[in-house]
Amino acid sequence: MSDTARLNEFGQPIGESLPGWTSPPAPPRAAVQGRYCSVQPLSPADAPALWAAYQHDADGRNWTYLANGPFTHFEPFEQWITESSVSSDPQFYAVDVHGGSREQPGVAAGVAAYLRITPAMGVIEVGHIHFSPLLQHTPAATEAMYLMMRRVFELGYRRYEWKCDALNAPSRRAAQRLGFSYEGVFRQAIVTKGRSRDTAWYACIDKEWPALEAAYHYWLAPENFDEQGLQRESLSSLTSPILVARG
């Protein structure tokens, strides 16, 4: 559509019209299965496995940029899992890593959530991502993010957001690797754990989804990994051409 076609009767530039667009439903609290993992609605029954998985983060550094934790005892952690499991927004999920095959029961090794769910605007965010060292840097971790992204766009959302502490360099790298484009920093956006936080914003939109899905399919294919399980081509190399901005 040309710029001229986006002018209203007053000669003012306006956004493109959305004929036929309707608000998508809220994401169903339902499991989605992948090759390496499944993304399951968080349950209080996941607490022991998650607690054991998070113990591999011995000094608790992975909690630094999260709103909750670190937890030094199981009971308050279990209470947090129980409370999170019934929350509708954020809507929490456990990432279960398959036990050798898709048919074998998985073991919860991390959590992630949909939040700021706004069907009327077609916008939803992914956050509260806390993957244990058992899950980090594995195909299952990437697949979990793909499965959650796929559900969002298949439901009809127009925009999928990722926000993080602007000082959280690993999260910022992860967002761009996964295909979220940089959109800027909101200064002094929130107060968390008694600290001021600048928030870095990233997002991908529905028009980018076909190219992103193709990149994920290519990267997650068994042929992309050698006999030692090492990737032949990086996901970043596949998603970088899709990004509209980096930062």
In the chain, domain spans: 29-242
Residue owning tokens 């992103």 = 212
Neighbours of 97 (CB within 10 A): 24
Q: Which residues of the chain have pLDDT under 50?
A: 1-3, 101-103
Residues 6+ apart with CB under 8 A from 98: 35, 36, 37, 38, 104, 106, 140
Burial status of residue 222 (CB atoms within 10 A of its CB: 0-12, 13-18, 19 or more): exposed
pLDDT of residue 3: 45
Q: Which CATH architecture does the domain made up of 29-242 adopt? A: 3-Layer(aba) Sandwich (3.40)
pLDDT of residue 1: 43
Neighbours of 205 (CB within 10 A): 17
As a whole number of angstroms, the distance between CA 12 and CA 35 comes to: 50
User: How far, CA to CA in Å, does 234 sit from each of 60, 142, 220, 238?
Assistant: 28, 11, 10, 7
pLDDT (tens digit per residue) in 44-79: 999 999 999 999 999 999 999 999 999 999 999 999
User: Facing residues of 160 across strands?
Assistant: 124, 204
pLDDT of residue 104: 52
pLDDT of residue 6: 86
pLDDT (tens digit per residue) in 112-123: 999 999 999 999
